[in-house]
Amino acid sequence: MLKSALLNAVEAQRENVVQHRRHLHLHPEPSFGESKTSAYVANALRAMGIAFSDGWCADHGAAGIVAKVEGLEPGTRTMALRADMDALPIQEVNRPHASTVPGWMHACGHDAHTACLLGAVEALQAARDQWTGTVHCVFQPGEENLPGGASILVQEGALLTDAPTSGPLQASGPLVDGIVGQHVYPQLDAGTVGFRSGAYMAAADELRIRVVGKGGHAALPHRTVDPIVAAAHVITALQTVVSRSCDPTQPSVLTIGKIRGGHARNVIPDEVILDGTLRTYDLATAETLRSSIKRVAESTAQAFGAVAEVDLAIGYPPVINAPRLTDSCRKRAVELLGEQHVVDLPLRMTGEDFSFYQREVEGCFYRLGTGGNGPGCRSGLHTAEFDIDERALSTGTAMMAWLAATEV
């Protein structure tokens, strides 16, 4: 029986997956610089005798991998599984298994995603006479930074059914039937997974505002145009963008997360840089807010004699989970884990480049509970304390293999 064959295979290599994850955790790499991670994945696939192609995203200095696992009647159906591989510029707290790379850390759990996908490849291979079709396993670079590794992989043809052994194609042809991705989630206990059908995660634009004035002596402000005061008013005025320009029924967020300006207590600087993010779900709302931000920032700075230069980089589209595939994956999750270990999730304003795959084919992006009682196992993603309850790795491995083998 497929389920028990996969579960046995997952159990047999439980320690392997833990070791994969620990190795990757020790050696985090930046977005589009995952060369050692990619070489590690390639070696593991070679050891399993799995066909794959590398060199994806090479024009961006990265090394994505697409592997192919074949069951009975290869090609009759093709599901894709995705894991991201990049880490973040965060100094991890001191503890066993902490990152060995100063200032870099797998604080978003992409090490766990990669380890689980390697485990799923092995489980699918071990049970290959019990399922039909082909599974594409996408090891993706650069999730955390624009333009998003997923957007490049899509352009290069990673979703084409003939992609895995031929490498970047940049051609057209039949696409995979669907794609499934998972993401660690400390708010859910290890052993549990969460789903949301339809809109799930927001579109994320990157915002930079340069407020330019004229610097000088702090005691002679009348001879300057103070960009600090102008920037403070710009930030305050921007708080009205969402509250006054946006349809209140449309979820959206505007946050300025970084201010840079000045270097001394008694000097008025020439400029202040504000960095922020705009999160939306709806394209028309996004466009309204983008033009509001520009108008409010420029005119507020002007009121103080300064100039605001607004630069908005359009980011990832929203994650919209295909209802048919997602409902079906949720049912499969219940079959695998039991009703009590499958929950429904609320909408969130974080973003994910998995959305680029979902614009091409049906996609389901679900959450893997990694919460536990160990240190850091309840800390948020992108924090220096973040850690996972490693028991989640078996759940993540089994889920990916099970969904790939059963879903179309």
Q: In what order do the strands lie in the sheet with 178-189?
A: 51-56, 64-70, 134-140, 78-84, 178-189, 362-371, 193-195, 342-344
Footprint of Zn ion on residues 321-340 (CB under 5 A)? Answer: none
Q: Does 404 bind Zn ion (CB under 5 A)?
A: no
**Of 34, 54, 70, 86, which residue is the catalytic one?**
86
Distance of closest approach, residue 351 Cβ to Zn ion, in angstroms? 9
User: Min. distance of Cβ 261 from Zn ion in angstroms?
Assistant: 27
Smallest distance, Zn ion to C-beta of residue 8, A? 30
Taking the complex as a whole, how short is the minimal distance between the CB of residue 241 and Zn ion, in angstroms? 25
**What are the C-alpha distances in Å from 77 to residues 136, 153, 400?**
11, 21, 16
Task: Dig out the tokens for 111 from the structure.
Answer: 């090490």
Does 105 bind Zn ion (CB under 5 A)? Our answer is: no
Active-site residue 143, yes or no?
yes
Q: Tell me the one-letter amino acid at 68.
A: K
**Best CA proximity match to 306, nearest among 372, 362, 231:** 231
DSSP for 213-278 reads -B-EETT-GGGSB-HHHHHHHHHHHHHHHHHHHS-TTS-EEEEEEEEEE-SSTTEE-SEEEEEEEE
Q: Report which residue's Cβ sits closest to Zn ion.
A: 108
Report, in Å, the least distance between residue 388 CB and Zn ion: 12
Q: Where are the beta strands (DSSP E) in 57-142?
A: 64-70, 78-84, 134-140
Residue pair 71/124 in contact (Cβ under 8 Å)? The answer is: yes
The residue from 84, 111, 143, 352 that is catalytic is 143
Using the rule CB under 5 A, is 108 a contact of Zn ion? yes
Segment contacting Zn ion by CB under 5 A, of 104-112, 154-162, 226-234, 254-262? 104-112
**Is 271 one of the annotated active-site residues of the chain?**
no
* Site map (CB under 5 A) of Zn ion, residues 63-102, x = contact: ----------------------------------------
Question: Which residues bind to Zn ion, rule: CB under 5 A?
Answer: 108
Catalytic residue numbers read 86, 143
